[in-house]
Structures are given as structure tokens and as C-alpha cells.
Amino acid sequence: MKVAGSYPISLNLAGRSCLVVGGGSVAERKVLSLLECEARVTVVSPRLTARLRRLVEDGRIGYRAGEFHPEDLRGMFLVIAATDKDAVNHLVSRECMERNLLVNVVDDPPHGNFYVPAVVRRGPLQIAVSTGGCSPLLARKIKEELAARYGPEYGEFTVWLGEMRARALKEIVDPEQRHRVLASLVDDQVLRLLAEGRPARAKERVSDAYFRGRSES
């Protein structure tokens, strides 16, 4: 079986209006992941989990009680169909496709136009695994291995690297020198030190590379 290739991207959903159709445990997980991205989330469902209900009461998400209606798509950027009814999910998909909206149908990838990969999040560092909808279980298993391999220290280190990059952009005027310095900051030894649980030593090595690169004319 030949599977069409997909184009991996990272969407900036901050402030974007997103709709989740469904109010069960699966929909809850999707809502929480969207909130992590600072999206503006609305849920449409006859019923909600207790946690979703609290989010509504706290004003963190919008909610319309009832069955899905195409009017719910007005103004939306991204839609997730997460009900336990195939007919409803397929209706959501068809209406979104007609409007050229991004739509994901949970557990039924062919009916959407994007997949949600299994993601390991460590601060700004995100490691995504996708099988193109062929085997979410395999993606989840690989994600678990990656989660064990890359701990919270990688997120902290990534933030610190971002600060070093910003410093280089500010302090190094020559574009070629700046490129050389940035390219030298992370090498195999830095990654080895992180894997050994020695982030402080990794930072020292990066700092040494930065100042050594800056001193070179």
C-alpha cells in the first residue's frame, strides 16, 4: 500500500480560533493540547467531561451545548472532530473541506486533511513522531522511548540556547562570523554531556565556543 507523503509543519495557534466537536475524554485531551498552544478554543457537544466543564466555568474555553451545526465553523481556523459517532465526524469533515479549513478527524485520519503527531514537549523543544496515520500505536511507542531519552533538562537547555542565539544576533555584526559562531555552539560533545545528565558542563562548552568564535577575526 502506497501512502501519500505529508508535509510536516508547526502551526502557531496563539490567538487563533479553534473548534473541537465532542465533549468526551478524547475531546478533552485535544482541548488541553490546543490550550497549551494558547489557542482560543470553542467546544460543541451535548455533554462535557467534568474537566471541560470546569474550563468553561473558568472562562478558558467557549462552549455551545448541542449537536454540531455548520454555522459552528464560522470564523474558525482549525477544527478537530472528536465525537464517538462516525456520521457526525464525517459531517464535520465534509463541511470543513468545503470551506478549506484545517480539520482532523480523531482515529480516522483519511477523513481529515492533517494528522496530529505524537509529540514529546520539553519547553520550546518539540519532538514529533508521525506514521502518516498508518499506525498511531507505533508513533506512541516511539514517543514513549523519546520521552524517556529526552528529559526536562533539554527544555531548559533549549531556552538557554535561544538566549545565546539572541546574544549572537545582537553582538556579532559580521554575518559570516555570526554564522560560524552559531554553527559551532552545539556539537556531538554537547549532546553527549546532556545525555550524561551534565547540562552545566554542556553550557560551559557552548559558552567557550561562543567566546572563542567571537574572538576570531
Span 123-143, pLDDT tens digits: 999 999 988 778 888 999 999
pLDDT number for residue 8: 86
**18 — pLDDT class (breaks 50, 70, 90):** very high
Whether 1 shows a pLDDT value over 50: the answer reads no
Residues near 91 by Cβ (< 8 Å), separated by ≥ 6?
A: 68
pLDDT tens, position by position, 151-181: 999 999 999 999 999 999 999 999 999 999 9
Q: Spell 195-209 as b/e; 16+ CB within 10 A means b.
A: eeeebeebbebbeeb
| pLDDT, average across residues 13-37 | 97
32 touches 9 (CB < 8 A): no
**3 — pLDDT class (breaks 50, 70, 90):** low
- pTM of model > 0.85: no
d(CA 143, CA 116): 13
Whether 214 shows a pLDDT value over 70: the answer reads yes
Q: Which residues does residue 81 pair with via DSSP β-bridges, in sequence order?
A: 21, 105
Whether 103 shows a pLDDT value over 80: the answer reads yes
Cell of 26: 478524547
pLDDT tens, position by position, 30-49: 999 999 999 999 999 999 99
pLDDT number for residue 217: 56
pLDDT tens, position by position, 190-201: 999 999 999 999
d(CA 104, CA 93): 8
| pLDDT, average across residues 50-66 | 98
d(CA 68, CA 92): 8
